[in-house]
């Protein structure tokens, strides 16, 4: 059976040709020939037909600023289009493998593994699993919203060509639309002319939830239910397995622009968006449920619900009866839509919460089943019930977040008016004061008394003052989590509990309306996990809050800053060890742990295939509940296309179900002591080597000179500043621009540096390659770590990185670049040897991808280095430089 009409080479060829035609039409024949000459020179060098890149470099440097800008725009636009072609190829692969029953990590394979277990085990695994993708506003998306909109239109046209049978006339019309969009894309500014605001970022996240995930989730549940019915003997209800969350519009860490007003608008918009989607679904359902009431018995439960709605909304009930005589389901659905219209309205009769809506749908489903309409329920009612369970009335629950120092300072300033020198107290004294304050009935501070406070402290108190109102208006589940960045002491968690207590969000021991989530990201915090969490679990006030939250503790692990502080290998080992340690601490205190993985899009920030990451977690930490961040360009890559979004969610669910099943069978992962010793040796030496690099005199200057960091800081990628205090230090710089800068220069050292030094130290200490090969073969953590490093190494281009190194002062270049190059070459050799393969990466598609892309990224890199080297750039050169950053990001399909 032929599923598709095209292949990726055809898409690439035709889009490239179209772009060339538009380039010539919109500029000149000379401009077209210039771009072609650069393109061919880059290809010829990669193919070995040229001995050096000198001719390409000479041509680029000899162009006028206007011509350079055209070249940058041409290659940037090319990558935007080729990315769509490769996205289409991913969809082809998914559909083909699905048709041939060859999809790895599918819902069917997960159901088959569950089918080997008794039904009670299956039921328990399903009840345990809850997957919470959490969308952040972290600024790594380099494309403008306008550009993304045009690209989606082109993607839709490619889908039409590929999956529909078209007449020649229809093909010409679709291609005419593509021509129009690409022309418009060429004429559209690629670089933002203003910094995005937090509300822009919130709307961006909402788009994916509203337009892709809302529909995809229902399909996933439906497919999984079918797979379970096929494999598991017995009657099973599929519980809620997913919940989406967001930081966009609520993450205050380092972003002064995320005000309480921004959060309030985000809550209102999200509720408005999801209610409109439910109205659409109920309207569609009304078109299906046209049953004649005189021929069926809807049952007492349905009739009671309909009568209650008639009493609640008499005017609307009369209208419904006139419009739908003898059609009880349609009458009910009309009144349900009216109740949705009144959510948050001054008029009475609206739903109090999403559970009431779900209850109505459940009653309709039962009534239909009693009338022999099981297929109607399966196809039309159950998907909506699952959407309501997943998205509630909030679309995505908001997590609040801020830096621990902000809470400390706000409390200190507020308590100063009460005669308490909070800053002067020891840690034990702070814990005692906060505990007593939380447990006493009378408030200690007035959250509204902010006139004499600093702006930052006033903002903190104002937020907590509004929190209780938000929970009253939108429901506790709409905004019920508070994450504390840089948590290092128990008092940092108790400070948030204290502020929540003062706002009325908690009333112990009966009620706690918020989960407080420590973010452990520094080595001090991670190694002190027992000191922090053990103290909290034994604290009288916190123990009551924990009890009120069902004895579930969410703990966030910071991958980005841990990597920036310790280096790739040491950070991964520290995170692995400390996850196990946290699991032990929670077990010791009879607490269910939910790990929140603060993963970025890039390998060095915890990125990589999510399903592999979930399966590589220590068994003792897999409680079933898992949460992780989705951010930047990874959101568009995973969730813009519905079929790819469905596949990503399918793989997540497959991995988490299997991981939970393995953890049930074997709660403690068996890791041989000699493997642990090997990792300790490698990680310790790797960390020292990495820290020595960062702390070497002149390294910060080298980083500043040999990467485009100064350009990236001014790119208007997101609403949040690039550094925490504006100081020029690696520690102060945020992890995203740190990784982004190295990625641009094609020396992706955050993803591999010091791994070779660590492995060599183990071998020099008496270790052997055979043991490392055995670790790679049998230990998912070690295999995933090396494979992820291999991906970063594969994307590193030493020759291009050398061009960036030439930008640095000669003394700095000679001090650092040979050191980086030596580490790269040794790491590449060692990983291929340990993995017992000839090439670095294990994915054939990556090799094809790099071969297709590298020759087109090279001219952008060379043009960027030329412009970076100019001490005085004109306005047009400055814009071209910024455009090369966008183009390289598109070509690398990665920023930070």
Q: Percentage helix, strand, coil, to 5, in the chain?
A: 65, 5, 25
Q: Where are the alpha helices (DSSP H) in 666-708?
A: 673-695, 699-706
Q: DSSP 3-state assignment of 553?
A: strand
Instruction: Please give the torsion angle defined by the CA atoms of residues 264, 137, 128 and 389, in that order, rounded to the nearest 10 degrees.
Output: 50
pLDDT score for 744: 93
Q: In 10 A of CB 339, how many CB atoms?
A: 22
pLDDT score for 724: 47
Helix axes 198-208, 260-288, angle to 10 degrees: 20
Q: Which one, of 38, 20, 25, lies nearest residue 884 by Cα?
A: 38
Residue 573 and residue 555: Cα distance in Å, rounded? 18
pLDDT score for 719: 47
Q: Which one, of 800, 847, 831, 889, lies nearest residue 57 by Cα?
A: 800
pLDDT score for 143: 56
pLDDT tens for residues 842-879? 666 666 777 778 888 999 999 999 999 988 899 999 99
Least confident residue range of 609-613, 758-762, 868-872: 609-613
Per the document, the length of the chain is: 896
Would the pLDDT of 894 be above 70?
Answer: no
Sequence-ordered list of residues with C-beta below 8 angstroms from that of 133, at least 6 positions apart, any chain: 242, 244, 245, 627, 628, 630, 652
The DSSP annotation for 127-179 comes to: HH-EEEEEE---S---S-HHHHHHHHHHHHHHHHHHHS---HHHHHHHHHHHH
Would the pLDDT of 227 be above 50?
Answer: yes
pLDDT score for 488: 95
pLDDT score for 76: 92
**Mean pLDDT, rounded, for 49-76:** 94
21-51 burial: b if 16+ Cβ within 10 Å, else e: ebbbeebeeebbebbeebbebbeebeeeebe
Confidence of residue 718 (pLDDT cuts 50, 70, 90): very low
Q: Which one, of 639, 643, 620, 641, lies nearest residue 631 by Cα?
A: 639
* Omega before residue 603 within 30° of 0, cis: no
Residue 484 and residue 476: Cα distance in Å, rounded? 19
Least confident residue range of 402-411, 496-505, 557-566, 590-599: 557-566
Q: From residue 336, how far is each of 292, 360, 657, 801 by CA, in Å?
A: 19, 8, 35, 61
Q: Which residue has the tokens 């905004």?
A: 479
pLDDT score for 691: 94
The DSSP annotation for 336-389 comes to: HHHHHHTTTSSSTT--SSHHHHHHHHHHHHHHHHHTT-HHHIIIIIHHHHHHHH
pLDDT score for 191: 64
Write out the two tokens for 151. Answer: 């690209």
Residue 718 and residue 255: Cα distance in Å, rounded? 10
Least confident residue range of 136-140, 298-302, 360-364, 572-576: 136-140
| Predicted structure pTM score | 0.88
Residue 371 and residue 289: Cα distance in Å, rounded? 12
Would the pLDDT of 251 be above 60?
Answer: yes
Q: Where are the alpha helices (DSSP H) in 417-539?
A: 427-439, 455-474, 490-503, 523-527, 529, 535-537
pLDDT score for 830: 97
Would the pLDDT of 726 be above 60?
Answer: no
pLDDT score for 667: 77
- Express as a percent the part of the chain with pLDDT over 70: 94
Would the pLDDT of 25 be above 80?
Answer: yes
- Express as a percent the part of the chain with pLDDT over 90: 75
**Mean pLDDT, rounded, for 177-189:** 92
Residue 117 and residue 113: Cα distance in Å, rounded? 8
**Main-chain phi, psi angles of 507, to 5 degrees:** -145, 90
Is the alpha carbon torsion for 733, 735, 740, 746 positive or negative?
positive
pLDDT score for 409: 97
Q: Which of 138, 150, 334, 403 is catalytic?
A: 138
Confidence of residue 174 (pLDDT cuts 50, 70, 90): very high
pLDDT score for 193: 64
101-114 burial: b if 16+ Cβ within 10 Å, else e: eebebbbbbbbebb
pLDDT score for 137: 76
Are 865 and 806 within 8 A, CB to CB?
yes
Would the pLDDT of 148 be above 90?
Answer: no
Confidence of residue 608 (pLDDT cuts 50, 70, 90): low
**Mean pLDDT, rounded, for 700-706:** 94
Would the pLDDT of 374 be above 70?
Answer: yes
pLDDT tens for residues 318-364? 999 999 999 999 999 999 999 999 999 889 999 999 999 999 999 99
Would the pLDDT of 166 be above 80?
Answer: yes
DSSP 8-class letter at 193: S
pLDDT score for 817: 97
pLDDT tens for residues 676-690? 999 999 999 999 999
pLDDT tens for residues 636-667? 888 989 999 999 999 999 999 999 998 888 87
Least confident residue range of 37-51, 60-74, 97-111, 556-570: 556-570
Would the pLDDT of 72 be above 80?
Answer: yes
Q: Which of 150, 564, 597, 638 is catalytic?
A: 564
**Residue 138 among the catalytic residues:** yes
| Mean model confidence pLDDT for the chain | 90
**Mean pLDDT, rounded, for 516-539:** 92
Confidence of residue 427 (pLDDT cuts 50, 70, 90): very high
Least confident residue range of 154-168, 630-644, 680-694, 767-781: 630-644
Residue 417 and residue 422: Cα distance in Å, rounded? 11
pLDDT score for 237: 87
Are 661 and 117 within 8 A, CB to CB?
yes
**Residue 564 among the catalytic residues:** yes
Confidence of residue 201 (pLDDT cuts 50, 70, 90): confident
Would the pLDDT of 775 be above 60?
Answer: yes
């Amino acid at each position: 059976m032929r599923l598709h009409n095209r292949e990726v080479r055809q898409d690439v060829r035709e889009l490239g040709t179209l772009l060339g035609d538009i380039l010539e039409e919109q500029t000149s024949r000379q401009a077209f020939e210039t771009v072609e000459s650069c393109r061919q020179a880059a290809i010829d060098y990669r193919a070995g037909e040229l001995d050096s890149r000198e001719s390409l470099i000479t041509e680029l440097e000899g162009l006028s600023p206007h011509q350079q800008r055209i070249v940058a725009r041409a290659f940037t636009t090319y990558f935007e289009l080729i990315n769509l072609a490769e996205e289409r190829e991913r969809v082809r692969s998914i559909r083909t493998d699905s048709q041939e029953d060859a999809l790895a990590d599918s819902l069917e394979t997960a159901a088959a593994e569950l089918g080997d277990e008794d039904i009670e085990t299956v039921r328990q695994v399903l009840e345990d699993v809850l997957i919470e993708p959490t969308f952040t506003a972290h600024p790594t998306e380099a494309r403008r919203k306008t550009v993304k909109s045009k690209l989606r239109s082109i993607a839709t046209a490619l889908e039409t060509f590929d999956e529909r049978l078209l007449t020649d006339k229809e093909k010409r019309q679709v291609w005419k639309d593509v021509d129009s969009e690409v022309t418009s894309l060429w004429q559209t500014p690629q670089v933002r002319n203003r910094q995005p605001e937090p509300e822009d970022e919130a709307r961006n996240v909402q788009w994916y939830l509203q337009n892709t995930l809302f529909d995809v989730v229902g399909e996933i549940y439906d497919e999984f239910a079918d797979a379970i019915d096929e494999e598991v003997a017995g009657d099973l209800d599929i519980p809620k397995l997913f919940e989406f969350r967001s930081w966009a519009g609520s993450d205050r860490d380092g972003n002064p622009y995320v005000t309480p007003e921004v959060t309030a608008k985000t809550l209102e918009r999200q509720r408005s968006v999801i209610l409109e989607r439910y109205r659409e679904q109920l309207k569609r359902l009304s078109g299906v449920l046209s049953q004649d009431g005189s021929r069926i018995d809807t049952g007492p439960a349905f009739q009671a619900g309909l009568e209650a709605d008639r009493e609640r909304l008499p005017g609307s009930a009369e209208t419904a009866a006139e419009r739908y005589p003898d059609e009880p389901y349609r009458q009910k659905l009309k009144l349900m839509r009216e109740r949705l219209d009144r959510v948050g309205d001054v008029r009475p009769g609206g739903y109090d919460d999403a559970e009431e809506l779900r209850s109505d749908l459940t009653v309709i489903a039962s009534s239909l089943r009693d009338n022999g309409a099981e297929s109607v329920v399966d196809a039309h009612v159950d998907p909506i019930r699952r959407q309501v369970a997943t998205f509630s009335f909030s679309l995505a629950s908001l997590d609040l977040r801020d830096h621990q120092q902000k809470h400390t300072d706000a409390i200190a300033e507020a308590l100063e008016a009460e005669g308490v020198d909070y800053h002067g107290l020891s840690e034990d004294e702070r814990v005692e004061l906060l505990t007593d304050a939380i447990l006493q009935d009378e408030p200690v501070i007035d959250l509204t008394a902010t006139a004499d406070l600093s702006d930052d402290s006033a903002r903190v108190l104002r937020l907590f003052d509004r929190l209780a109102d938000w929970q009253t208006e939108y429901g506790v589940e709409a905004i019920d989590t508070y994450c504390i960045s840089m948590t290092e002491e128990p008092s940092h968690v108790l400070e948030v509990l204290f502020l929540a207590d003062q706002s009325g969000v908690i009333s112990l021991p009966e009620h706690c309306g918020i989960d407080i989530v420590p973010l452990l990201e520094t080595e001090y915090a991670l190694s002190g996990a027992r000191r922090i969490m053990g103290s909290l679990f034994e604290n009288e006030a916190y123990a009551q809050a924990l009890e009120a939250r069902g004895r579930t503790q969410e703990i966030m692990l910071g991958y980005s800053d841990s990597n920036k502080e310790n280096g790739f290998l040491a950070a991964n080992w520290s995170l692995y060890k400390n996850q196990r340690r946290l699991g032990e601490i929670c077990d010791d205190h009879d607490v269910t742990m939910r790990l929140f993985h603060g993963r970025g899009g890039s390998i060095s920030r915890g990125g990589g295939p999510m399903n592999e990451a979930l399966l590589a977690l220590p068994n003792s930490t897999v409680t079933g509940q898992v949460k992780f961040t989705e951010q930047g360009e990874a959101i568009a890559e995973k969730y813009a296309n519905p079929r790819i979004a469905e596949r990503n969610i399918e793989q997540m669910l497959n991995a988490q179900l299997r991981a939970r099943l393995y953890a049930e069978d074997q709660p403690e992962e068996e890791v041989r002591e000699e493997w642990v010793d090997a990792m300790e040796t490698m990680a310790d030496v790797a960390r020292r080597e990495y820290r020595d690099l960062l702390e070497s005199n002149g390294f910060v200057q080298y980083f500043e000179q040999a990467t485009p960091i100064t350009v990236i800081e001014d790119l208007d990628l997101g609403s949040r500043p690039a550094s925490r205090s504006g100081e020029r230090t690696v520690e102060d710089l945020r992890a995203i621009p740190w990784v982004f800068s190295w990625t641009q220069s094609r020396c992706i050292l955050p993803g591999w540096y010091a791994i070779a030094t660590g492995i060599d130290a183990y071998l020099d200490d008496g270790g052997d390659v055979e043991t490392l090969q055995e670790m790679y073969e049998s230990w998912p953590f070690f295999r995933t770590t090396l494979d992820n490093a291999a991906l970063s190494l594969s994307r590193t281009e030493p020759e291009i990185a050398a061009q960036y190194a030439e930008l640095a002062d000669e003394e700095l270049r000679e001090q650092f670049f040979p050191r980086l190059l030596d580490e790269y070459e040794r790491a590449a050799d060692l990983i291929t040897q340990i993995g017992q393969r000839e090439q670095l990466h294990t994915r054939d598609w990556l090799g094809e991808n790099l071969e297709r892309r590298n020759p087109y990224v090279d001219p952008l890199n060379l043009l960027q280095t030329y412009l970076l080297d100019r001490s005085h750039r004109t306005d047009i050169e400055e814009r071209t430089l910024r455009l090369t950053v966008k183009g390289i990001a598109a070509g690398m399909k990665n920023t930070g």
